[in-house]
Amino acid sequence: MNKTELVDQIAASADITKKEAESALQAFMDAVTDTMKKEDKLTLIGFGTFSISKRAAREGRNPQTGKTINIPAKNVVKFKVGKKLDEVVQ
């Protein structure tokens, strides 16, 4: 599913226009982005939790040349699935 299909499904499910659904989806994505920028976590009970994890600097290898490279430390977004979503998927 892509963003357009998701907007269509939200509009149909919530009985709103596609424009309103796209606006709501954009607001949700903005809220998640802002929360991740603050390195906070966002919990949606039953669905899951978005959080930030710090990945340490490490050495890696270029697979084409075998040369050792340094990979810098960075923050990564993690998602831990909630119980209800997990039960539906299994």
Distance CA 18, CA 6 (A): 10
Per-position pLDDT tens, the chain of length 90 = 999 999 999 999 999 999 999 999 999 999 999 999 999 999 999 999 999 999 999 999 999 999 999 999 999 999 999 999 999 998
Written as one string, the DSSP assignment of 13-73 is HHT--HHHHHHHHHHHHHHHHHHHHTT--EEETTTEEEEEEEEPPEEEE-TTT--EEEEPP
Domain map (residue ranges) of the chain: 1-38, 40-90
Distance CA 43, CA 48 (A): 6
The reported pTM is 0.79
The answer to whether domain 40-90 has CATH 4.10.520.10 is: yes
